[in-house]
Amino acid sequence: MTELKTKKTIFNGMSYRDTQRINSKNRNKLKQEDIHWLKTEGYKNVGWNNLISLYHKIKDLLDKYQYEELTLEELFLEAERIGNKYLTSQEIQETNHKLAKEVNEIAEEIDKQYPDTEIEFIDFSNKTKKSYRSIKY
């Protein structure tokens, strides 16, 4: 009798059972409404195709949580970082140059609109002298 050897399927370096464990563990990190949404949309932790699609969907939801906690400034920095991945270094330099030019033009316009008319003089040359009085009783 000959033995049939089946090739073990691997996803991201994980076996079927490992992928199931990871999905279950990561699903517990999700908010309750997202867990309910996964169930209603038919995502299951059984069958290779279902495992893989559930794995990707859970990863997307966890990534979304990461961005919810960022401030607006951090979101803009993250968007710029992602956008810069698709630009060459020359394009990045050109964009930065254009941005610096625009910022300078805006600063000049602000100076025109709100001129600083008050002149302030600070004299550091004269130091104050301490004088002591003697009091007689």
> What is the tens place of the pLDDT at every residue in 65-107?
887 878 888 888 888 888 888 888 899 899 889 999 999 999 9
- Two structure tokens written together for 100: 């610096």
DSSP state of 99: H
| pLDDT at residue 26, rounded to an integer | 93
DSSP state of 14: B
| pLDDT at residue 25, rounded to an integer | 94
Please state, as a whole number, how many other Cβ atoms lie within 10 Å of the Cβ of residue 62: 14
Residue 32: is its pLDDT beyond 90?
A: yes
Are the CB atoms for 58 and 27 separated by under 8 Å?
A: yes
Instruction: Compute CA distances 10 → 21, 41, 50, 92, whole Å.
Output: 14, 25, 14, 40
Residue 2: is its pLDDT beyond 70?
A: no
